[in-house]
Structures are given as structure tokens and as C-alpha cells.
Amino acid sequence: MESRMLGKTDIRLSPIIMGTWQTGRSMWTGIDDAQSEKAIQAAMDAGITSFDTAEVYGNGHSEKILGKAIGSHREEVEILSKVFANHLKYDQVIDACNRSLKNLGTDFLDLYQIHWPSGAFGSTVVPLEETMGALTDLKDQGKIRAIGVSNFSLDQLKEICAIGPIESLQPPYSLFWRQVETDTLAWCRTHGVTILAYSPMAQGLLTGKFGPDHQFEKGDHRSSNRLFQADVYPHVQQALDALRPIAAKKGVTMAQLALAWVIARPGVCAIAGARNARQTTDNAKAAGITLTEAELSELERISRPVTDLIDDNPVQWKW
């Protein structure tokens, strides 16, 4: 699997990154720790070297499972974690990073990201200079190798880039969620900021496994995703029906088609979650799929009736 450069650093990431939100179990249903460990190990076997986690995923549970599964292979992988919006004061950032390092059983993170901007979810507003001061000190101490942000608007990204070097932006990005294309994608490409696309399969929608009458189990946060709401979901199903013959003709799964579309963009990696080894192995194969310009145009055309229904609110969920 051909690696891609992280921002302006010498750090290389796999184009398919394994996401581990589900590994934390909180806000998900049917997650098994043993299966999560096997999924992570299968990812490494399949050529995925990069793993994205966060302190808030199960209050550190995701980090602990990830660290355990990586085990003695730490020097062969890149670990990406995140500090939440309620821990952005100087001392809080330092403490959160140290907790993450302990959870993961490592002495450094390859990328440490601000998960949500200060003030999100009612958190205390903290000056960017204070947060960046802590992140810069962690970098100087060798505890983190690079700094990134997640869920930042373009204006917020520009503001923090004026304070210090930011190597990545982690936004939601898929065939069905394309707000980043408005202006952010081009700006990041020009300024050497790597896009780490989360929910590249639209939280499972683009796998095609959710039918017209699908109902999530109680406790599954995806029931709040705006793509699953009554005004959008019928259009999603129509788009999926149009995508199925394209995937079949190429001999790939719907999930692989969705991932291949995301990583076809220069400077973009896709963060793909998985519950088990089979899913991670299948996800990894997307890195070997090439889409023609005609195929890319057709996929974009099919997605537009869905994306045109989504407003400018960057948050995917009705929380």
C-alpha cells in the first residue's frame, strides 16, 4: 500500500487509515473487544499502517484496545489521537496527552489533533494560542510528532495555521457528505494540509447494507445522522441503487467503491472503521482500486441528489 505524506512532515500515512471510534464501544452497539483487536491486527497484516483514535472514544477504551492490539509493532505503525474540546486549556492538553500515551502504551503520538474547536458542545472557550502553546511544547518534548485539527471550518483552520504549523484537517467527507469541497479542499491542497476524511462510507450507508426500512438498535448514534432522516433517506436509497451496478461491474464491494472515490483525491486519506477482521481486510483492498475520470464523474453525478439536500451545518448528527 503506497503511503502518503502527512502535511509538510516526513511522516507517511497509509491512504486507508483504520478508525477506532467503534472500538471504544460507547455510542455503538454489538462491539466486541476481542473482535476489535483482531480487526486491528488484520489491518496491519493487510498493509494499513495508520490508526486514528481519541481520548473521548469510550473514555480511553479505544486507545487501550488499540495499544494492546498493536503490541510490539509500535515502530511499524502511525498512531493518531485527539484531545476533546473540553480539555483545551494548557494543563488539560498536557494531561490529556499523557493519559493517551499511557492508554496506548507508547511514549509518542505521530499526530495529535484537536478533536472539536473550543466552545463545541458547550465547552469553555479557550484561546487558540493557549492550546497551541501546549501542543507545541508536547512536540518539543518529543511526545507528539505533528499537530492536526478535526471538525474545524476553513476560517478556524486559517486562524490556527497563523499561530503554528498544522499538518492535517479531519472533516467528514464521503460521496454523500461533500461540504469540504466548497473551498476547504483546495485551500488545504495549496497549503500542504492533508485531509483525513472521516465517515468516508457515510457511517455504513455506502456499504449498501442498510435497506429502506432499516432501524438502528437503541444506543447506536447513527440513528441521529442526518443522512438517515426521513427527508434525505429515500434519496440515499435511490443513489445506492445507482451505485450497485458500478461496483458490480468493477468487481468491488460498495464499501471499496466509496473508499476508492475518497482516496482518488490528491492529499486525502480515508479513515475507515471496522468491527471485525473481514471488514478491515476488505477496506484495505480499496487502496488498489483505480477509478477512471468517467467513473469519478458518474459517481459524483449520482451523489448530487443527496448532497443537494444537506445544509451548511458541518455536524452530521442531529444532537
Q: Where in the sequence numbering do the catalytic residues fall?
A: 57
Q: Cell triple for residue 96?
A: 490529556
Checking DSSP bridges between strand 16-19 and strand 268-273, what pairing results, if any? parallel
3-state secondary structure at position 316: coil
Q: How many other C-beta atoms lie within 10 A of the C-beta of residue 184?
A: 22
Q: How many other C-beta atoms lie within 10 A of the C-beta of residue 256?
A: 25
Please report, for residues 11, 62, 67, 101, 207, the alpha-carbon distance to residue 80 in angstroms, rounded to integers and kept in the order given.
12, 12, 12, 11, 25
84 touches 115 (CB < 8 A)? yes
For the CA atoms of 165, 171, 175, 180, the dihedral, rounded to the nearest 10 degrees, stands at -60
- How far is Cα 54 from Cα 170, in angstroms, rounded to an integer? 12
Our measurement of the distance from residue 176's CA atom to the centroid of its chain's CA atoms, rounded to an integer in Å, reads: 15
